[in-house]
Amino acid sequence: MERIQQIHEGRNIKRFREILGMKQETLAYELGDDWTQKKISQLEAKEKIEENILEQVARILKVSPEAIQRFNEEAVINIISSTLHDQAGSVHYNFNPLDKLIEAYEENKKLYERLLDAEKSKVEYLERLKDK
Protein backbone atom coordinates (compact mmCIF):
# COMPACT_ATOMS: atom_id res chain seq x y z
CA MET A 1 0.00 0.00 0.00
CA GLU A 2 1.37 3.43 -0.98
CA ARG A 3 1.94 5.83 1.88
CA ILE A 4 0.50 9.31 1.40
CA GLN A 5 2.62 11.94 3.10
CA GLN A 6 0.78 14.96 4.47
CA ILE A 7 2.41 18.30 3.66
CA HIS A 8 3.41 20.19 6.82
CA GLU A 9 3.19 23.88 5.90
CA GLY A 10 4.86 25.11 9.10
CA ARG A 11 7.85 22.84 8.54
CA ASN A 12 8.06 24.06 4.95
CA ILE A 13 8.11 27.68 6.15
CA LYS A 14 11.00 26.73 8.42
CA ARG A 15 12.86 25.08 5.51
CA PHE A 16 12.47 28.11 3.24
CA ARG A 17 13.42 30.48 6.09
CA GLU A 18 16.56 28.45 6.85
CA ILE A 19 17.50 28.27 3.18
CA LEU A 20 17.47 32.08 3.16
CA GLY A 21 19.55 32.15 6.35
CA MET A 22 16.76 34.06 8.09
CA LYS A 23 16.29 33.81 11.85
CA GLN A 24 12.87 33.42 13.44
CA GLU A 25 13.34 36.87 15.02
CA THR A 26 13.82 38.42 11.58
CA LEU A 27 10.67 36.80 10.20
CA ALA A 28 8.77 37.99 13.29
CA TYR A 29 10.06 41.53 12.75
CA GLU A 30 9.05 41.47 9.09
CA LEU A 31 5.55 40.25 9.98
CA GLY A 32 4.97 43.15 12.37
CA ASP A 33 4.55 44.15 16.00
CA ASP A 34 2.17 41.31 16.91
CA TRP A 35 4.85 38.71 16.12
CA THR A 36 7.64 37.31 18.30
CA GLN A 37 10.25 34.58 17.89
CA LYS A 38 8.07 32.31 20.04
CA LYS A 39 5.04 32.94 17.82
CA ILE A 40 7.13 32.05 14.72
CA SER A 41 8.22 28.84 16.44
CA GLN A 42 4.56 28.00 17.10
CA LEU A 43 3.68 28.85 13.47
CA GLU A 44 6.39 26.50 12.19
CA ALA A 45 4.93 23.71 14.34
CA LYS A 46 1.51 24.00 12.68
CA GLU A 47 0.63 21.55 9.93
CA LYS A 48 -1.84 23.94 8.24
CA ILE A 49 -1.37 27.73 8.14
CA GLU A 50 -4.15 30.30 7.77
CA GLU A 51 -4.26 31.63 4.20
CA ASN A 52 -3.68 35.32 5.04
CA ILE A 53 -0.66 34.49 7.23
CA LEU A 54 0.67 32.07 4.62
CA GLU A 55 0.50 34.83 1.98
CA GLN A 56 2.35 37.31 4.23
CA VAL A 57 5.09 34.80 5.07
CA ALA A 58 5.44 33.74 1.43
CA ARG A 59 5.86 37.38 0.37
CA ILE A 60 8.60 37.89 2.98
CA LEU A 61 10.35 34.64 1.99
CA LYS A 62 10.05 35.59 -1.70
CA VAL A 63 8.22 32.38 -2.63
CA SER A 64 4.67 31.69 -3.70
CA PRO A 65 2.15 30.45 -1.12
CA GLU A 66 1.78 27.37 -3.35
CA ALA A 67 5.49 26.60 -2.94
CA ILE A 68 4.98 26.41 0.82
CA GLN A 69 1.76 24.42 0.45
CA ARG A 70 3.19 21.89 -2.01
CA PHE A 71 6.86 21.48 -1.08
CA ASN A 72 7.52 17.83 -0.34
CA GLU A 73 11.12 16.93 0.44
CA GLU A 74 10.55 13.24 -0.29
CA ALA A 75 9.13 14.05 -3.74
CA VAL A 76 12.12 16.30 -4.53
CA ILE A 77 14.53 13.50 -3.60
CA ASN A 78 12.58 11.02 -5.74
CA ILE A 79 12.59 13.39 -8.73
CA ILE A 80 16.34 13.97 -8.43
CA SER A 81 16.98 10.26 -7.99
CA SER A 82 14.90 9.23 -11.00
CA THR A 83 16.50 11.96 -13.10
CA LEU A 84 19.98 10.71 -12.31
CA HIS A 85 19.42 6.99 -12.90
CA ASP A 86 18.22 5.19 -15.99
CA GLN A 87 16.76 1.65 -16.01
CA ALA A 88 20.22 0.04 -15.90
CA GLY A 89 21.05 2.03 -12.79
CA SER A 90 23.97 3.91 -14.30
CA VAL A 91 24.29 7.61 -13.69
CA HIS A 92 24.26 10.09 -16.60
CA TYR A 93 24.66 13.75 -15.74
CA ASN A 94 26.97 16.65 -16.47
CA PHE A 95 26.38 18.44 -13.19
CA ASN A 96 25.21 17.68 -9.69
CA PRO A 97 21.63 18.97 -9.39
CA LEU A 98 22.05 19.40 -5.64
CA ASP A 99 25.04 21.67 -6.26
CA LYS A 100 22.89 23.74 -8.62
CA LEU A 101 20.13 23.90 -6.02
CA ILE A 102 22.60 25.00 -3.34
CA GLU A 103 24.01 27.64 -5.72
CA ALA A 104 20.49 28.99 -6.28
CA TYR A 105 19.87 29.10 -2.52
CA GLU A 106 23.19 30.88 -1.95
CA GLU A 107 22.32 33.42 -4.63
CA ASN A 108 18.95 34.02 -2.95
CA LYS A 109 20.73 34.46 0.36
CA LYS A 110 23.11 37.04 -1.16
CA LEU A 111 20.19 38.90 -2.72
CA TYR A 112 18.39 38.95 0.62
CA GLU A 113 21.52 40.26 2.37
CA ARG A 114 21.88 43.03 -0.22
CA LEU A 115 18.22 43.93 0.25
CA LEU A 116 18.69 43.99 4.02
CA ASP A 117 21.77 46.23 3.66
CA ALA A 118 19.80 48.60 1.42
CA GLU A 119 16.99 48.76 3.98
CA LYS A 120 19.51 49.46 6.79
CA SER A 121 21.00 52.27 4.71
CA LYS A 122 17.54 53.76 4.19
CA VAL A 123 16.81 53.63 7.92
CA GLU A 124 20.14 55.30 8.75
CA TYR A 125 19.49 57.99 6.17
CA LEU A 126 16.00 58.67 7.51
CA GLU A 127 17.29 58.80 11.08
CA ARG A 128 19.90 61.38 10.06
CA LEU A 129 17.17 63.45 8.34
CA LYS A 130 14.99 63.22 11.43
CA ASP A 131 17.83 64.42 13.70
CA LYS A 132 18.43 67.56 11.61
CATH number at residue 21: 1.10.260.40
Kindly state whether residue 95 falls inside one of the protein's structural domains. Answer: no
Kindly state whether residue 7 falls inside one of the protein's structural domains. Answer: yes
Kindly state whether residue 4 falls inside one of the protein's structural domains. Answer: yes
Kindly state whether residue 108 falls inside one of the protein's structural domains. Answer: no
Q: Can you give the pTM of this predicted structure?
A: 0.55
Number of domains in the chain: 1
Using CA atoms, how far apart are residues 58 and 13, in angstroms rounded to an integer?
8
The tens-digit pLDDT sequence of the chain (132 residues) is: 444 567 899 999 998 888 888 999 999 999 999 999 999 999 999 999 999 999 999 999 988 898 888 877 665 555 445 545 544 455 444 556 777 778 888 888 888 888 898 889 989 989 888 887
Kindly state whether residue 103 falls inside one of the protein's structural domains. Answer: no
Kindly state whether residue 65 falls inside one of the protein's structural domains. Answer: yes
Kindly state whether residue 6 falls inside one of the protein's structural domains. Answer: yes
Domain residues for the domain of 25 are 1-71
